[in-house]
Amino acid sequence: MFRITKKTLLAPNIYLMDVYAPRIAKAAKPGQFLIVRVHEKGERIPLTICDYNVEEGTVTIVTQTVGASTNLICAKEEGDAFLDVVGPLGRPSEFVEETLDDLKSKKILFVAGGVGTAPVYPQVKWLHQQGVDVDVIIGAKSKEHIILNEQMSAIAKNVYIATDDGSLGTKGLVTTVLTDLIENKGKAYDVVVAIGPMIMMKFVSLTTKKYNIKTIVSLNTLMVDGTGMCGACRVSVGEKILFTCVDGPEFDGHLVNFDEAMRRQIMYKSAEGQKLRKQEKESDESCQCEK
Ligand SMILES: Cc1cc2nc3c(=O)[nH]c(=O)nc-3n(C[C@H](O)[C@H](O)[C@H](O)COP(=O)(O)OP(=O)(O)OC[C@H]3O[C@@H](n4cnc5c(N)ncnc54)[C@H](O)[C@@H]3O)c2cc1C
Ligand code: FES
């Protein structure tokens, strides 16, 4: 059993939890995710590993309640446990493989939207620990929906905030701040990493394309098995069809077909889509492979 050792409310409907999972904590790298199952018949829910503490054997997850399973996860309290936590899954962020000299020579900007701030945090922290300073833009609907601002400010060179209603930082979208930094503040970035709602990642990628800035996005597609078997998480990247769970979750933002990815994200809402999801789950459950 995977016990919850800490639970904190970060913003309306967004909870941070530390979960005892020593093997995952030991193996985790920035950019990877895990899959939580609350009970025997529960869905497998992918969540980014937002932090890990090898000494305490814990991993940190940040969950936003959007539906049945995320509600079940967030209803758990300190001392409760999840049935299964599997991970680390997916490929680590590309920069983990780069040399320190290469990393230090680059100007990197992270763009975090809403709960996407949580997956950005371990990446910024890892880079900070290697002595690499990065800038971060955090965007949300309003001040109360901005998460991890203090923690991020402690490790990033500059943190810029954008809120839709102007209750904190710049009034506008993250792309408003991004364009302002490049056009008016003399910032020249070599790499932008954008993590947040699919629509945000699409528009960040369109903006950076104009300036020819390499852009990495982390896709939060629907997933069923999380092992590359069912195809639920497939995404078109340039000419290739890739699986987010095993080939990602990070991809070149200039190559991702976001419109198709967004259509796939909502397709299970229709009656036809529900039928398809049921079929995918059934074929996943009948699979005898080890998960
Ligand atoms: C690699 C990866 C990492 C993720 N990391 C996190 C994380 O750190 N924190 C977090 O809160 N969530 C994260 N997600 C998204 C999370 O897995 C989904 O929100 C969750 O599966 C929804 O399940 P549900 O049963 O609660 O909602 P459902 O009942 O399945 O859906 C409820 C509503 O949410 C929408 N929805 C469902 N899945 C997604 C999705 N993947 N993205 C956007 N909208 C969706 C549906 O269209 C529907 O409107 C991640 C997803 C992936 C693939
Ligand atoms: S969730 Fe990726 S292939 Fe099934």
With a 6 Å cutoff on the Cβ, whether 226 touches ligand 2 is: yes
Q: Are residues 143 and 78 in the same domain?
A: no
Q: Are residues 115 and 136 in the same domain?
A: yes
With a 6 A CB cut-off, is 47 part of the ligand 1 pocket? yes
**Same domain as 107, residue 240:** yes
pLDDT digits (tens, 9 = 90+) for 23-63: 999 999 989 999 999 988 888 899 999 999 999 999 999 99
- Residue 47, phi then psi, degrees to nearest 5: -140, 140
Can you tell me which atom of ligand 2 is nearest the CA of 223? 1
SS3 132: coil
pLDDT tens digits for range 80-114? 999 999 999 999 998 888 999 999 999 999 999 99
Q: pTM of this prediction?
A: 0.88
In a domain, 269, yes or no: no
Q: Are residues 163 and 229 part of one domain?
A: yes
**In the prediction, which pLDDT does 94 show?**
87
Tell which of 42, 57, 89 closes a domain: 89
**Residue 281: inside a domain, yes or no?**
no
Same domain, 11 and 65: yes
Q: Give 277 Cα–ligand 1 centroid separation in angstroms.
A: 14
> What atom in ligand 1 is closest to the CA of residue 14?
11
Pick the closest to residue 46 from 38, 57, 54, 35 (CA basis).
35
Pocket test for ligand 2, best of 33, 225, 291 (most atoms within 8 A of CB): 225
Q: What is the CA(242)–ligand 2 centre distance, in A? A: 10
Alpha-carbon gap, residue 199 to 268, rounded angstroms: 18
Q: 103 C-alpha vs ligand 1 centroid, how far in Å?
A: 31
Q: Same structural domain for residues 190 and 126?
A: yes
- Please report which ligand is nearest the Cα atom of 232: 2
Q: What is the pLDDT of residues 153-180, one digit of tens each?
A: 999 999 999 999 999 999 999 999 999 9
**In-domain check, residue 273:** no
Mean pLDDT computed over every residue of the chain: 90
Give the domain extent around 42. Answer: 2-89
State if residue 232 touches ligand 2 by the CB under 6 angstroms criterion.
yes
Residue 105 lies in a domain: yes
Task: Verify that 140 and 53 share a domain, yes or no.
Answer: no
Q: Is 63 annotated as a binding residue?
A: yes
3-state helix, strand, coil in the chain (%, to 5): 35, 30, 35
Q: What residue's CA is closest to ligand 1, atom 32?
A: 67
CATH code for position 166:
3.40.50.80
Query: How much is the pLDDT for 132?
Result: 93
Q: How far is the CA of 254 from the centre of ligand 1 (A)?
A: 23
219 ligand 2 Cβ < 6 A: no
Highest mean pLDDT among 8-17, 120-129, 210-219 belongs to: 210-219
117 and 14 within one domain: no
The finding on whether 223 has its CB within 6 A of some atom of ligand 2 is yes
Q: 233 among the known binding-site residues?
A: yes
117 ligand 1 Cβ < 6 A? no
Q: For residue 46, give the nearest of 287, 265, 286 by alpha carbon.
A: 265
State how many domains the chain has: 2
The answer to whether residue 275 is domain-embedded is: no
Q: Write down how long the chain is.
A: 291
Say which DSSP state 91 is in.
P
Residue 243's DSSP bridge partners are 234
The answer to whether residue 272 sits within a structural domain is no
Q: What is the complex's ipTM, to 2 decimals?
A: 0.86
Closest CA to ligand 2's atom 4: 230
> Is the pLDDT reported for residue 286 higher than 60?
no
